[in-house]
Chain A
Amino acid sequence: MRPATNGYRADDLRGFREVQQLAYACAESVAARLVPGVTEREAARMQREWLRERGVRDWFHLPFAWFGDRTAFAGFKSPLQFFPTNRRLEPGMPFILDMAPIHRGRTADIGYSGCLGPHPLHERLLADLLDHRELILARVRERRPLREIYQEVERLMIRQGYANRHRAYPFGVIAHKVDRVPERRWSPTVLGFGTNALRGLARDALHGHRDGWSPLWSPYRFSDHPPRPGLWAVEPHLGFRGTGAKFEELLVVTDSRDPEESAFWLDDDLPHVRREHKEAQAA
């Protein structure tokens, strides 16, 4: 176990890791049950129900599901278009499941990309996403300003031939901070986002505004600061001509001077990382 720093004890991190594993288990379970004809709404409900059965009562945001060219946010103009629609899954279609459950007061925010049937381009996108995982970690360890890292990620995407699709998210964020959330009996959501979690984010935004940092990792000036210790849900999202792919997982940033300890992915035992290892071994 890595040393706890900046207010997170070892068992704290373990708790976060458990929620993240739970969320990815949900994604894999739902992905395995996706068949042609399932709609985005049904896929989102399947995620919600799976997690509710396992004790999730609060959300950073409710589960999303995007199918087909909606994985690349093709033609998205308003944030309402992120919500699940009645689009049906067809053979060969890529899909993305995105959920952020809160369990025992700890938040996870994950994104899972898959495809119904073999899709060489989609596999290529997933493999190329891993370059971004490495790049982001390396640059955070170098303590480079977040805005600069954002631009470097975007440049890499363009070099790879892809479009940056996380720019379509609110504020164009590639990542945002998550934190512990007090467990309350009443946990309503507004426009898909949990109020308890939003309150934490707003508090961070307010404090950050005073101290010159922001819990949103965006291409804008307010992100022109070195990485802030805490837990960041990082979600690079590639798009290429109607096919999109992303991953989302928690990055732990600490105030340690040792580069190895200053930033690390909370968990390396995740589907998109395992997949890459498997392929590397096969090669």
Chain B
Amino acid sequence: MNGKKLNRQDGTRAGRGARIGAEEHGGGLLEGARERRVATGGIELCVAELGDAERPTVMLLHGYPDSKEVWSRVAHRLKDRFHVVLYDVRGCGGSTAPTPLRGGFTLEKLTDDFLAVADAVSPGEPVHLVGHDWGSVQGWEFATARRTEGRIASFTSISGPSLDHFGHWIKRRVARPTPRRAAQLLGQGAKSWYVYALHTPVLPELAWRGPLGKGWPRLLELTEKVPADGYPTASLPRDAAHGAWLYRDNVRARLRRPRADCYAHVPVQLITPTEDSFLSEHLYDELEQWAPRLTRRTLPAKHWVPRTRPDHLAAWITEFVTGNESGTPVREPAATGKYADRFGGRLVLVTGAGSGIGRATAFAFAEAGARVVAVDRDAGSAERTAELARLVGAPEAWAERVDVADEQEMEKLAQKVATEYGTVDVLVNNAGIGTAGPFLETTTEEWKSTLDVNLWGVIHGCRVFGRQMAERGQGGHIVNTASAAAYQPSRVLSAYSTSKAAVLMLSECLRAELAGRGIGVTAVCPGFVNTNIVGAARFAGTDEEEQRRRRRRTARLYGLRNYPPEKVADAVLRAVVRNQAVVPVTPEARAARLLSRIAPRALRGIARIQPPT
């Protein structure tokens, strides 16, 4: 730390003969950033710094065709905890371009740039690297090159493979092209069309300086859903024209002769956007071989995640950097669930989490490392769920006592969650009650209470939390627990089926409405699952004694069926990962769903059967 201070006072002492001047810079996307210029290898790099320089340094590397401002939204979220450093790659943004351009963009020269900046901004301490797109390609080079050892503490890679790993990946697939490998090769080959295009001489430059440069912001907005907030900056045509040399100087050379010693010497966090139009997820299939200390994360988003998902990135970067700073204890217990890459650190809210499917779902998300808010009408059981959730892997879990049917309570809950825990990433509207009995004997009160919980509970949940998700604009997912009774009519479940059918249709409509905002909506239709829903169900038109008898009897039948709520929870997580619309779970629910489409008359026949009482 001492050396760090010294160097800050006397910048010219920094290594590799770099010349440094510092100036305050304000305005623009990186408001409040301290800007300085670092001279290295005949060019000058434009470096911006945010946050306290005494804190761990996080260096954000931008991609192509971008400038350091691509990170602005993430940088502002990190600046309170870290010393955030961004710089424009040579030839981009405020940095000068090498002359001649050809041969001026090799990874070796980019490594020199990185070392010069690192020495200038954090002379004593290694830095935490985060790279997106070409920034990540560079980051891989830095994280695997011998001469950077000791200068990097960790590396977070987003949408940019190591060219060497990519070279080995292609070689392996060409050498033994099994059908699957051939398909992977062809798939990535098609996604890389722009790489071939950039290798043509002059044309890319002309396009970028002409119509493409002009239309690019709009194109990003339309195809990549990047919000229009002043990015890309005005330097885009020049950045993009210069950046073409990144491809021309490196891609052919590295892919043809990939380095054999490209092992990462630092812990690596790999964040994979699953809907990336330029990179296949399979590129990283064998990555453990090259990066032994690898943490995987997946994000349902397109390529430009630093613009579209800053909250998620900032959270994962914070967690990873903090975990790799010396002296921080490793969290126990670690998330072990199947979808830990997807839900680690995410905020999940489950209603009706005090028992049955809701509780199992909360545990499944906890096991995947999500932060869980367990909501239930019964404070004790919600507390219990939160407590066990922490024991199975949730970094944090809270219990909230709320009646979902009460609009005011739900509004209050939403406010509290937003201010204290953050915006909900996955909402599971699961709370529900059972009502059975003939329509003619069901009272208005019974109808009201059923609809209040089963339908209004879901509506309130979707309204208050869906609005927060939409306002944040960084995607999310809503799961509503419907039922097989939503499409399987029954003579004794009129109220329950009606409420659940409404939930199913609500989910479908909402899915259509929110699709454009990156929010998925799923209706889960479990079927007969062994939970205590029948233990608390109302049987219309019966006295207390008969009610108890029927509850006992139905509970016994559900017990005999013995379909565990854990399997429904697994289906919920799978549905969120795959963004499925309607998910029937038990075999009978699936059979009924199929029949409802191909033979609805058969279902009507089944509906007439009087179940045993």
Measured CB to CB, the residues of A under 8 A from B are: 120-121, 124, 158-161, 163, 240-241
Which residue of the partner chain B has the closest CB to A219? Answer: B559
The reply to whether the CB of B72 lies closer than 8 angstroms to some CB of chain A is no
A120 and B391 contact, CB distance less than 8 A: yes
Complex A-B, nearest 6 residue pairs according to Cβ-Cβ distance, in ascending order = A121-B391, A161-B388, A120-B391, A161-B384, A124-B391, A241-B392
Q: How many residues of B contact A (CB 8 A)?
A: 15
In the bound complex, residues from chain B placing their C-beta under 8 Å from that of A124 are 388, 391
Which residue of the partner chain A has the closest CB to B367? Answer: A241
Contact residue among B332, B333, B355 (Cβ-Cβ distance under 8 Å from A158): B355
The reply to whether the CB of B381 lies closer than 8 angstroms to some CB of chain A is yes
The reply to whether the CB of B96 lies closer than 8 angstroms to some CB of chain A is no
Other 14 A-B pairs with CB < 8 A, given A124-B388, A161-B363: A120-B391, A121-B333, A121-B388, A158-B355, A158-B532, A159-B355, A159-B381, A161-B359, A161-B384, A161-B385, A161-B388, A163-B564, A241-B363, A241-B392
Measured CB to CB, the residues of B under 8 A from A are: 332-333, 355, 359, 363, 367, 381, 384-385, 388, 391-392, 532, 564, 566
- Report the minimal beta-carbon distance from B12 to chain A, rounded to whole angstroms: 52
In the bound complex, residues from chain A placing their C-beta under 8 Å from that of B392 are 121, 240-241
Which residue of the partner chain B has the closest CB to A122? Answer: B391
- Report the minimal beta-carbon distance from A132 to chain B, rounded to whole angstroms: 16
In the bound complex, residues from chain B placing their C-beta under 8 Å from that of A240 are 388, 392
Which residue of the partner chain B has the closest CB to A118? Answer: B332
Q: Tell me the complex Cα distance, A160–B387, Å.
A: 11
Contact residue among A120, A159, A161, A163 (Cβ-Cβ distance under 8 Å from B332): A120
In the bound complex, residues from chain A placing their C-beta under 8 Å from that of B564 are 163
In the bound complex, residues from chain B placing their C-beta under 8 Å from that of A159 are 355, 381, 384
A163-B564, A241-B367 given as contacts; is B388 within 8 A of A120 (CB)? no
SS class, residues of chain A in contact with chain B:
helix
Q: Tell me the complex Cα distance, A161–B381, Å.
A: 9
Q: List 10 A-B contacts (CB under 8 A).
A: A120-B333, A121-B333, A121-B388, A124-B388, A124-B391, A158-B532, A159-B384, A161-B388, A241-B363, A241-B367
- Report the minimal beta-carbon distance from A22 to chain B, rounded to whole angstroms: 34
Q: Tell me the complex Cα distance, A158–B566, Å.
A: 13
Q: Tell me the complex Cα distance, A159–B391, Å.
A: 16
- Report the minimal beta-carbon distance from B252 to chain A, rounded to whole angstroms: 47
- Report the minimal beta-carbon distance from B537 to chain A, rounded to whole angstroms: 16
- Report the minimal beta-carbon distance from B280 to chain A, rounded to whole angstroms: 33
Q: Tell me the complex Cα distance, A161–B532, Å.
A: 12
Q: Tell me the complex Cα distance, A81–B359, Å.
A: 29
Which residue of the partner chain A has the closest CB to B337? Answer: A241
In the bound complex, residues from chain A placing their C-beta under 8 Å from that of B388 are 121, 124, 161, 240
In the bound complex, residues from chain B placing their C-beta under 8 Å from that of A158 are 355, 532
In the bound complex, residues from chain A placing their C-beta under 8 Å from that of B363 are 161, 241
B391 and A160 contact, CB distance less than 8 A: no
- Report the minimal beta-carbon distance from A247 to chain B, rounded to whole angstroms: 20
Residue in B359, B385, B388 whose Cβ sees the most chain A Cβ within 10 Å: B388
In the bound complex, residues from chain A placing their C-beta under 8 Å from that of B385 are 161
Which residue of the partner chain A has the closest CB to B381? Answer: A159
- Report the minimal beta-carbon distance from A221 to chain B, rounded to whole angstroms: 11
Which residue of the partner chain B has the closest CB to A160? Answer: B384
- Report the minimal beta-carbon distance from A95 to chain B, rounded to whole angstroms: 17
In the bound complex, residues from chain B placing their C-beta under 8 Å from that of A163 are 564
Q: Tell me the complex Cα distance, A143–B566, Å.
A: 35
Q: Tell me the complex Cα distance, A77–B388, Å.
A: 27
Q: Tell me the complex Cα distance, A240–B381, Å.
A: 16
- Report the minimal beta-carbon distance from A148 to chain B, rounded to whole angstroms: 11
Q: Tell me the complex Cα distance, A185–B388, Å.
A: 51
Q: Tell me the complex Cα distance, A124–B363, Å.
A: 15
In the bound complex, residues from chain A placing their C-beta under 8 Å from that of B381 are 159
- Report the minimal beta-carbon distance from B335 to chain A, rounded to whole angstroms: 12
- Report the minimal beta-carbon distance from A93 to chain B, rounded to whole angstroms: 13
Residue in A158, A160, A240 whose Cβ sees the most chain B Cβ within 10 Å: A158
Residue in A158, A161, A163, A240 whose Cβ sees the most chain B Cβ within 10 Å: A161
Q: Tell me the complex Cα distance, A241–B361, Å.
A: 12
- Report the minimal beta-carbon distance from B328 to chain A, rounded to whole angstroms: 19
In the bound complex, residues from chain A placing their C-beta under 8 Å from that of B391 are 120-121, 124
Which residue of the partner chain A has the closest CB to B385? Answer: A161
Which residue of the partner chain B has the closest CB to A240? Answer: B388
- Report the minimal beta-carbon distance from B551 to chain A, rounded to whole angstroms: 13
Which residue of the partner chain A has the closest CB to B355? Answer: A158
Q: Tell me the complex Cα distance, A121–B394, Å.
A: 12
In the bound complex, residues from chain B placing their C-beta under 8 Å from that of A241 are 363, 367, 392, 566
Q: Tell me the complex Cα distance, A87–B227, Å.
A: 53
Q: Tell me the complex Cα distance, A3–B128, Å.
A: 73
Which residue of the partner chain A has the closest CB to B384? Answer: A161
Q: Tell me the complex Cα distance, A124–B333, Å.
A: 13
- Report the minimal beta-carbon distance from A124 to chain B, rounded to whole angstroms: 6
- Report the minimal beta-carbon distance from B178 to chain A, rounded to whole angstroms: 31
